[in-house]
Structure 1
Amino acid sequence: MAAKIDLTLDSADTQALAAFWKTALGYVDEPPPAPFETREEWFAQFGLPEDDSVDDGAWLCDPDGVGPRLCILKVPEPKTAKNRLHIDIRVPGHGSSDERWARIRAESERLVRAGGTVLEFFDGHHVLMADPEGNEFCVGAAPA
């Protein structure tokens, strides 16, 4: 059996970044692990300093259970360089290259309205973007 992975993003504003990625990926807030009823209960078990808050983290999951879990954690330092790993969002559907490119462009426009930024167009292939905190990701077509 292959290992499962989580992807973790550092953040200055975890809740705002979580809202963007829920919109981008169609993810939802992950329920707290059993036997905990709330994330606050789960968080309290760690005995962390009082200035740490459950809102300093967000845990997102694919509602279909297919994609990797996404953890967003508050850190004090800002992003300073290009990501060494980034997320590729694959737009579904088949058709001509013009039809695929139109879907990629439409998805990048939707993500701009959600708070993302277009960094560069690679015409006919993919769009390089950044989330609201500058983390790079690409929007492209799903493999045919």
Structure 2
Amino acid sequence: MAARIDLTLDCADATLLAEFWKTALGYVDEPPPAPFKTREEWLAQFDLPEDDSGDDAAWLCDPEGRGPRLSILTVPEPKTAKNRLHIDIRVPGEGTPDERWARIRTESERLVRAGGTIQEEFVGHHIVMADPEGNEFCVAAGSP
């Protein structure tokens, strides 16, 4: 059996990034693991330091269960360099190269309205973007 992966983003503002990535990926807040009824109840079992709370993190999941889970954790240190691993958002649909590029442009414009920024365009292929805290990702064509 193949291993599954989760992705974790360190950040300064988990709430801000969670809202951006829910918009970008169509993800939802992940419910706490069974048998816990709330995230706070789940976190209480770990005996975390007093200054560490569930407000400092967000857990997101693909509502269809296909994509990896995304944990967004507040950390004290700022981002200092380019990501060594980044997310590619694949825009579905078939068509001509111009039609695929138009969908990529439309998606990148939607993500700019959600708080992202365009870093660089590779016309006809993909757009490099950054989320509200500067984490790089790409928007590219995907399979339908």
TM-score range, shorter chain: over 0.9
Quick one: percent identity of the two aligned structures?
80
- Cα distance between partner residues in 1 of 2:95 and 2:33: 42
In the alignment, what sits opposite 1:24?
Answer: 24
Q: Which runs of 5+ in 2 are unaligned?
A: none
Provide the aligned C-alpha RMSD in A: 0.8
SS across alignment from 2:35 = coil
Q: Give, in whole Å, the separation in 1 of the partners of 2:143 and 2:91.
A: 9
Aligned to 2:59: 59
Scaled by the length of structure 1, what TM-score is found? Answer: 0.98
Measured against aligned partners, the alpha-carbon deviations of 1:26-71 in whole angstroms (never above 9, x if no partner) come to 0000000011000010011111122111011111000000000000
SS for the counterpart of 1:64 is: coil
Taking the aligned partners of 1:14 and 1:39, their CA distance within structure 2 comes to 15
Equivalent residue number for residue 111 of structure 1: 111
Structure 1 gaps of 5+ residues are none
1:28-47 counterparts in 2 under 5 A? 28-47=28-47
**Distance in 2 between residues matched to 1:44 and 1:7, nearest whole Å:** 23
Indicate conservation of the 8 Å contact 2:116/2:129, yes or no. Answer: yes
Aligned partner of residue 94 in structure 1, secondary structure = coil
Matched residues in 2 for 1:143 and 1:128: separation?
19
Instruction: Give, in angstroms, the shift of residue 93 of structure 1.
Output: 0.2
Q: Distance in 1 between matches of 2:110 and 2:53?
A: 31
Which stretch has the larger CA shift, 79-88 or 50-59? 50-59
TM-score (norm 2): 0.98
Q: In structure 1, what is the Cα distance between the partners aligned to 2:62 and 2:39?
A: 18
Rounded Cα–Cα distance in structure 2 between residues aligned with 1:27 and 1:143: 19
Instruction: Please say if residues 93 and 143 of structure 2, whose CA atoms lie closer than 8 Å, have aligned partners that are also in contact.
Output: no
Shift of the alpha carbon at 1:19?
Answer: 0.4
**Counterpart AA for 1:82:** K
